Amino acid sequence: MSPFPRNQWYVAAYAHEVGRELFTRTVCGESVLLWRTEAGEVAAMADRCVHRRFPLSEAPSRLVGDTVVCGYHGFTYGADGVCTAVPGQARVPRTARLTTYPVKEQDSFVWVWIGEREKADEALIPRSPWLDSPGYTTVCGMEPLAARYGLLVDNLLDLSHETYLHGGYIGTPEVAETPITTEVDEAAGVVYVSRHMDDAACPPFYAKSTGIEGRITRWQDIEYHAPCLYLLHSRIAPVGAPGPNPDGTDPHAFHVEVVYAITPETEHSTHDFWAVARDFALEDQEVSDFLRENNRTVVLQDVVALDKLEQVIASEPAGAQELSINIDTGGLAARRILKRLVEAGAEAGAAGRQALTAS
Amino acid sequence: MNTSHPAPTAMLTGATVHRVVWVPGTDRLRGWCWCGTSHETEGPVELWEWLLAHPDTHPDTHADSSAGTGSGAHLSPADRSPTSAPRSARRRSES
C-alpha cells in the first residue's frame, strides 16, 4: 500500500519556481516535470521520457516553444503530454504519451493532483489567501526534510515543542504551559488546535518584527487541512489591548499567518514549504529580511531534529512504544485522518485496477 | 459521561465535529461528541477511543458522513477556506 494519501492535492512548488526552464520535483514518489507554456500556463507531466526513461528535466533536454524535447534521443512532447515527434521515422507510436497531472496555480502555490485524474476537483484545494494578498507581505522558502511527512505533521500539530526546540526564537515557557483546545472534523479532514496565552513573554521573532517591548497576549490557532496544508493563525498584541471586534476586524493586534505545505517526496523524505505572511510593516524590508532569516532558522531546527528522529524510527522495529499526553490531542487526530486517507486512496486504486482487469 | 458542561466555542462548522478541551486547573481532558454528549478522561488516547466509539447508534454516523473519497469531497468550495481568515481575505478566497 502506498505510504501516502492518494487522490489528494499536494503543493509541488511555489508559483515563482516554475517558469520557462524545465523544473522537477518528486511528489509522493512521482517525478513531476513542471514548466510554463508561452501563454504562462503551468504544465505538469511525468519527468521520464517514454522511450528510455531519461529525465526530461535533465540537460540537454529543453523547452522549444510549447514543447519539451528529450535531451537523449529527441522525443518531443506537447503540454498535453502527447509525443509529437520521434527521431528517424514519421510514425509516432500511439502510446507515446506522458502522464500529465491536474495542476492548479493558487495562493502562490502550484498544486498537483496525485491519484486518479477523474477525481481531481480544484474546489477541494484548501486556501491560504494571505500569501498573495495585497494586504499582507510574505516571506517564504522550502527546506528538504530527510524524514517521513508524518513526523512534520506531528511536529506542527503540537507547538509545545517551541519552548524547548525553538527557545530564543519563537519559544517561551508559556507555550508549553498553556492548555490547548482541539476540534476535529473527521469527515472534512480538518484539525483545529487553539492555544491562547493571555500574558506571555514576547519571543524575539515577534518582539523585533512588531516592536512590542513588553508582555503579550499570544494566540496560536492551528488549522490543518490534511494531508498537505497547515495554517497557523498567530495573533500578537500587548497585554491589555482590546480584542477583536465582533465584525472580525482587529486593529489593535499584529497578525502573522504561518503557512506550511507538507508534501511527501518519498517514504522517508518531505518537502517542507514554509511561508510567513504579516499584516504590518508591509513595506519594511528589514522586517522581511529578519522574518525570513529567523523563520528559516526555526525550520532548520525542526529539520535537524526530525532528520535525527527519522533515523531512529527507521532503525527500530515497527510499532515501537510511544506515549501520548494531552499536548498530543490534535496530533493523534491528524495521524488518524492521514491513516484513513491512505487507506481510502489505496482502496480506490485497487478498485480502479480491478475495474480495468474486468473490462 | 454527562452533558452539564457547556461545549467550548466552536471554530469548525462541520456537522460532525469533535471538541476536546483541557479542563481548567487540571490535567484532564473533556471531549464533546458532535451530538452534545461529553466525557472526561486523563489522556487523549482514551478520550479519542471514547469519542470515536460514541455511540455506535448515532443516526448520522461517521461512516456515513465520511462517504466519498475522504478528502472533503462533500464540502463546498467555501469550506476549504481558512476558518478564521480575515474577512477581506476570506471574501477574496470565496470569490
What single DSSP character describes residue B75? Answer: S
For A84-104, what is the mean pLDDT? 97
Asked whether the beta carbons of residue A340 and residue B27 sit closer than 8 angstroms, the reply is no
> How high is the pLDDT of residue A357?
61
List pLDDT tens digits, range A141-162: 999 999 999 999 999 999 999 9
d(CA A235, CA A178): 15
> Is A324 in the B-facing interface, judged by CB distances under 8 Å?
yes
Asked whether the beta carbons of residue A135 and residue B86 sit closer than 8 angstroms, the reply is yes
Q: Which of residues 13-42 of B touch A (CB under 8 A)?
A: 14, 16-22, 24, 27, 29
Between CA A88 and CA A94, with CA A91 as vertex, the angle to 5 degrees is 130
Asked whether the beta carbons of residue B89 and residue A221 sit closer than 8 angstroms, the reply is no
Structural domains of chain A sorted by starting position, each given as residue range(s) with its CATH number in brackets: 8-123 (2.102.10.10), 129-316+327-342 (3.90.380.10)
Q: Which residue of B has its CA nearest to A342?
A: B70
List pLDDT tens digits, range B4-55: 455 556 899 999 999 999 998 999 999 999 999 999 999 999 999 999 998 8
> How high is the pLDDT of residue A2?
85
> Is A344 in the B-facing interface, judged by CB distances under 8 Å?
yes
Three-state secondary-structure class, residue A316: coil
Number of residues that this document lists for chain A: 359
pTM, to two decimals = 0.91
Cβ A70 vs Cβ A76: under 8 Å: yes
Angle between helices A329-358 and A149-157 (to 10 degrees): 150
The Cα of B37 is separated from the nearest Cα of chain A by a number of Å equal to 15
Mean pLDDT lowest among A61-75, A218-232, A258-272, B1-15 = B1-15
d(CA B3, CA B38): 6
Q: What residues form DSSP beta bridges with A190?
A: A185, A225
> Is A349 in the B-facing interface, judged by CB distances under 8 Å?
no
The mean pLDDT of chain A is 96
Asked whether the beta carbons of residue A332 and residue B79 sit closer than 8 angstroms, the reply is no
Instruction: Quote the distance between the C-alpha of residue B89 and its chain's center.
Output: 24
**Chain A contacts of B84, Cβ < 8 Å?**
221, 223, 233
Cβ A263 vs Cβ A109: under 8 Å: no
> Is A198 in the B-facing interface, judged by CB distances under 8 Å?
no
d(CA A52, CA A72): 9
| pLDDT > 90 fraction of chain A, expressed in percent and rounded | 94
Three cell numbers at A272? 517542507
Backbone angles phi, psi at A266, to 5 degrees: -130, -175
Domain boundaries, chain B: 19-94
